Amino acid sequence: MKLSVIFEERPKQWGFRGDPYFWDHLKGRAESMDLLSPGELEDWIRREYLSVSGKPLTDTYGDFAVVKQFAHGGMSSGGIDNLWWLDKGIPLLKKRLEEISKKRGNAAS
């Protein structure tokens, strides 16, 4: 099973307009990756954020990155909302990983 499975269902709400494009970027990269632990997943997302934005993913209020490749029009075009990723996006993805691990563990029993 590839890591991209956790990105299949997209969130209904985002922080900024660039968030869905960052999600798609992560999903594309995850298509060739095996499942990770939740901690490894968060580390990987943080590295990808740094890679595309040139800055670390922080929990500083109001901090965000604007990524030119994710800019497709609108006021927050290309913006990746740090707090959305830290408060909603990463926890959602970690939860999905944990659910898969539980199902796989039960299937092995």
41-97 residue pLDDT tens:
999 999 999 999 999 999 887 788 888 888 877 666 788 899 999 999 999 999 999
78, 56 contact by CB (below 8 A): no
pLDDT score for 49 = 96
Tell me: pLDDT of 106 over 80.
no
Mean pLDDT of 17-42: 96
pLDDT score for 109 = 43
Q: What does the domain layout of the chain look like in residue ranges?
A: 15-29+37-103
pTM of the model: 0.89
- Encode the chain in three state secondary structure: CEHHHHHCCCCCCCCCCCHHHHHHHHHHHHCCCECCCHHHHHHHHHHHHHHHHCCCCCCCCCCEEECHHHCCCCCCCCEEEHHHHHHHHHHHHHHHHHHHHHHHHHHHC
